[in-house]
Amino acid sequence: MTVLSSQCKDVQLSDHQLYRLNQLLVFVSQYNGFYQQKFKDIQLPIRSAAQLSKLPLTTKQELVEDQKNHAPFGKNHSYPTVDYVRYHQTSGTSGKPLKVLDTEESWEWWEECWLEVFRSSGVTKEDHVFLAFSFGPFIGFWGAFEAAKKNGSLVITGGSQSTKERLTCMIENEATVLLCTPSYALHIAEVAEELGIVLTQTGIRKIITAGEPGGSVPSIRSQIETLWGATLYDHVGMTEMGAYGYSCSEQNGIHVNEAQFIAEVIDPDTLESVAVGEKGELVLTNLGRYGYPLIRYRTGDIVVHSNEVCACGNPYSFFPGGVIGRADNMVVIRGINIYPSSIEAIVREFPEVKEFRVVYYSQAEMDQVKVQIETKSEITPILATRLRERIGLRIDVENVEAGTLPRFTMKAKRVLDVRDQA
């Protein structure tokens, strides 16, 4: 597999991406039923990045419809089913789960992408890597499992263990790196406190999170690092797209692995590129997954379009603050755009809050929002004031009984929308 060195940016990177993009386009025009139809009027080769933006976008809904019409796997799988070795599906948090297969070659590509995450986080063969997830059909950290093996690290899987069992396993086997969601890192800390375990005295020194925006949010990262006495690194990826981004030693955003992905940032309404400094939806093209290619895929992830160069020295595209939220999670309350992740960033500034939930509801035919929190401290008025100042909207804060809000081991679902039930 061709991997571009970190010194090669600008013209050389553009040439590298354009070459691999055209290889992919020629391939799908011959072997991929989904893109044969979608690109039937496209003239190849593509000669510039500007021409890429003229290709039609790909949406998740298209892929879901494709699988519905061509069950069970759809026409975006380029090879006969017999050539595939891995099955995964999306979590289904934003609709019907999407089935995704990988060939041996495509799965090796996944491993290489995940190796970049480990390299950027400084994980070596000396580390004992603990994977705290269920190992079901959701992609989770399956790629990380394979990459950690290739990295030479000792891999310890949490599988179906309870949180208490995982804690014991981590400690007894001297785990040094923990992989989980930000929510679960906080939940483990809550359980550890109940058991009298001091996490800062365990061997965990690095935490790599995924599945939620929290790993790049300073307040969430700070809370997790304080509780664990470890350094937190963020990672972003999608079952259908691949492991496309990771944080670095600066811990202030996400780098896109541009050797393997082409990134664009568009206005989700106009579908045109946004200006530098503006928020927009991330559009990605994976360059090495021929078994399940995605070209100009609307990820739904909201990022800030930036030409900033990170101080870590990595020349790849950098999104300060990482993934800010999801386009499909944004709601408008009294004229204000609200992302649940923006509310969480403020709530997590209060370590006294054990768990929280955002509730959308209707009152007097107007949409409203409130935050429910579990805490023993009298911080309700302070948090309400901070939410009003930062979000620009009055948001009620309601204390609820300890232990009544749900806990999460994978992707958290901290939003309750009861507006249609009013």
How far from the centroid of its chain's Cα atoms is residue 182's Cα?
A: 11
89 forms beta bridges with 99
**Under 8 Å between Cβ of 317 and 285:** no
Tell me the pTM. Answer: 0.85
Distance CA 24, CA 143 (A): 22
> Which pair of structure tokens corresponds to residue 24?
């992919």
Distance, CA of 330 to CA of 333 (rounded, Å) = 10
**Tokens read off for 111:** 């491993």
Name the strand (E) or helix (H) holding 100. strand 99-103
Give, as one character, the DSSP assignment of residue 234. E
For strands 231-238 and 242-246, give the pairing.
antiparallel
List, in order, residues 6 or more apart from 194 with CB less than 8 Å away: none
Is residue 155 within 8 A of residue 173, CB to CB? The reply is no
Q: How far apart are CA 170 and CA 175, in angstroms?
A: 5
Task: Give the pLDDT score at 122.
Answer: 95
The tens place of each residue's pLDDT in the chain, 422 residues long, gives: 334 434 445 568 989 999 999 999 999 999 999 999 999 888 889 988 788 999 999 999 999 999 999 999 999 999 999 999 999 998 765 567 899 999 999 999 999 999 999 999 999 999 999 999 888 888 878 999 999 999 999 999 998 899 999 999 999 999 999 999 998 999 999 999 999 999 999 999 999 999 887 888 889 999 999 999 999 999 999 999 999 999 999 998 999 999 999 999 999 999 999 999 999 999 999 999 999 999 999 999 999 999 888 889 888 999 998 998 888 777 888 778 888 888 988 999 999 999 999 999 988 777 889 999 999 888 999 999 999 998 888 899 999 999 999 988 777 888 898 887 65
pLDDT at 103: 98
Run of H or E including 194: helix 182-195
d(CA 27, CA 34): 12
- What are the structure tokens assigned to 143, written together? 């790629």
